[in-house]
Structures are given as C-alpha cells and as structure tokens.
Amino acid sequence: MRKEPTWRIPVGILALVAVLGLYALLVARAGDTIGTLPVLAQTLVYVVLGTIWLLPLRRFLIWMETGRWK
C-alpha cells in the first residue's frame, strides 16, 4: 500500500477526461451519418460506441494505481 500520492492519478484523470471528451465529440460528429441508419442499426451503433471506450480503461486504471500496464 502506498503512503504518498503519485503524479499518475491526477494526470491520468485529466487525460481520461480529455480523451473521453474528444471521443464524445467524434461520436457526436458522426451522429448525422448514424442518424440515416434504421433505428435498430442506430441502437446497435450507439451501444457499441457507448461501451467500446471501456476496453482500455482497466489497463489505464491499473497504470494509474501501480505504474505498470499489466
């Protein structure tokens, strides 16, 4: 258990907010194109895009806490 805070946590939080904000802007920009799809296809696209950002999150949080990627 660590006794002193590390620089990785505040930097990691700021990076996470910045990357998620950029990702949200990209998805919003694609909204016009996605909006032309049938409703069920739109639902599938938004479900996939809404969950895909979670894939790298586990390793990123581990890095924030330990400094290692595994």
Give me the domain span that covers residue 37. 8-66
Mean pLDDT of 45-62: 92
Give the C-alpha separation, 69 to 62, whole Å.
6
Whether residue 61 is contained in a domain is answered as yes
Domain count, the chain: 1
Q: Which residue has the tokens 């949200």?
A: 24
pLDDT band at 66 (very low <50, low <70, confident <90, very high): confident
pLDDT per residue over 6-36, tens digit each? 899 999 999 999 999 999 999 999 999 999 9
3 in any annotated domain: no
**pLDDT winner (highest mean) among 1-10, 16-25, 58-67:** 16-25
In a domain, residue 1? The reply is no
